[in-house]
Structure 1
Amino acid sequence: MACVCFLATMDTAPSPAPSSTRWIQEGILAYWTLFWLLNVCDKLIGGAHFMWVGRDRFAQFQKYFASVGLDAPWVADAGLVVAAALEVFALVFCAGAWLHFRQSRPVQTRSWFFVGVLLTLGTFTFFSVGDHWFGDRFELLEHTLFWFIAAVSWVVFVRLEHVALPTISQRIPGGAVAVGAALLLATSTSIFRHNAQGFVQRTAPLAAEEVGDHLYKVSFPFLGGSTVFEETLRQFKAAHPDEAIDHIYTVPKPLRLKKADALIFYISTDDKP
């Protein structure tokens, strides 16, 4: 049904659009360009850094493939490369469509955006197949919703070429400006508060909870890394001078594979001689 709609709209020559219609069309192009730009940056940066909380996609893909018995790292890396390639090409064509739109080239805009939408649909289809395979229902819901949003974006973009929407008044109401400024202030305050409070978890040591005789559990936060691990061990040794660490281990592999970003490890100790 979607393919018929795509082909039907491609046969109709675009007509000049009023200014308000162009704003909506440009918003659609800007949304998908920024969407894929941030996704590509997430692949390039990876993990959590200052003012950037991303997911370690390499670790996520390796755990996904390990859950189905494909433990070789190159298998997960190959899957991630394919996913990244689809996202990069989707970004290129969506950004190209936006550039052509800014330069008032309707035919080129439609052609580039059409390819960008096809790549977007192909990317989310690829992800959805993987979600079924690995049993990640939450990611499946997310990718399915984005698949439909991409399809609707194309239909709306093309239909707007033949719809004359009223031109928006150039005068911006003072009330709207006040509400927008208040929302911006509240959002900015929340972001900087999270940065001040949450990023401490990147370096602060963790408390070890005693769960048995000479057995302690440590739960890593989302932002925890090697620094947190080292500081936690240093703090643990200082707090338990009469005990020596015998070994450290994580939860069994089937349980560990259920979460891509969480980590729980146990510290087993003995009394010092």
Structure 2
Amino acid sequence: MSTGGSCDARYCYSVWMRHLINYYNESGKIPSIVVEFGPGDSIGTGIAALLSGCDQYYALDFMKYSGMENVMNIYDQMITLFKNHTDVPDDREYPKIKPKLESYKFPDHIISPEVIDKNLSDERLDAIKESLNNLSNDHNIIINNMISYLAPWENTILPEINPELIFSQAVLEHIDNLENAYSVMASISVKETYMSHDIDFKSHGCSKYWNGQWSYSDSLWQTIRGTRPYFINREPLSTHLKLFSKNGFKIIKCIQNNEGFGSSSISRKKLRGKFTRLSDDDFQTSSAYILAKYNE
């Protein structure tokens, strides 16, 4: 089962840089310990995090995917991207990636030439490569000095992580038990932990309308979902905002997108079940980028 563009080094580089830049603009530093929920077919974003200066990367996934055989190829390509101070791939190359940036120039103010030299030293690259090689075994729980992979995270007792940044890219819309997911994120957080999440509320192909998933009754939805191990949970923006607050995270930034609203949208009279009570804000929001900080 494939999860999309996570085996494309430039895609992963673009995703990580967007989260890093937004985090840095608030914290003023590169995070030392990073957790990603839902890395998918590869840990390309994690490799980008390590090459930009992070010391530890934790990949937490719903299930173990089979794309690790491509990880060394992504690693080699990623090194080249950083060596060349490559600009962040923008909307022309990846029009669907959010959040958008004010500038797509390589962030030299964050990753200076001196930082690049340190991060790409032979000693550090050897350490990253050794951690990557350890991921090639068949175990679902792998704890290394620099890279740790845990799948499935939902049924795992997580180690004490204390991350400075928790992030995900178009993942939270696929988690059925969101209450538990946000609780887990809070349980591993400390006072200075930030969360950076891009969430997609569109129908993911189950309707010709971007918000057509809200027009199905619960019984019809069960038929549409079938036996898939995961699909979309159909939860709107407000559900996530409530869970951020409930779990001690203060919203710093919430960028809402309604690029799908209009001719490709269902009318409110088509809504069914609990979705008949959707606010206009939820009804029109097709995706959102949320940056928050843990305050408990």
Q: State whether TM-score is above 0.5.
A: no
Question: Under a length normalisation based on structure 1, what TM-score does the superposition of the two structures give?
Answer: 0.23
Task: Name which one, 1 or 2, has greater alpha-carbon Rg.
Answer: 1
Higher strand share goes to which structure?
A: 2
Higher helix share goes to which structure?
A: 1
